[in-house]
Amino acid sequence: MSKTKITRKGQVTIPKEIRDKLSLKESDNLNVKIIDNFIVMEKFESFDSLKGSLKIPPKYRKKSWNEIESIAQTEHAREVMDE
Q: What is the pLDDT of residues 16-67, one digit of tens each?
A: 999 999 999 998 889 899 999 999 998 877 666 666 777 778 888 888 888 8
User: Strands, DSSP E only, in the chain?
Assistant: 29-35, 38-44
- Residue 5 in this model has a pLDDT that exceeds 90: yes
Of 82 and 54, the structure prediction assigns the larger pLDDT to: 82
Distance from C-alpha of 35 to C-alpha of 12, rounded to nearest angstrom: 18
Per domain, the residue ranges of the chain are: 1-44, 47-82
Q: 1-44 domain in CATH 3.30.360.10?
A: no
Position 66 scores a pLDDT of 85
CA torsion, ordered 34, 35, 38, 40, to nearest 10 deg: -60
Find, among 26, 32, 28, the residue nearest to 10 by Cα: 32
Q: Are 10 and 16 within 8 A, CB to CB?
A: no
Average pLDDT over residues 10-16: 94
Cβ 18 vs Cβ 39: under 8 Å: no
pTM over 0.75: no
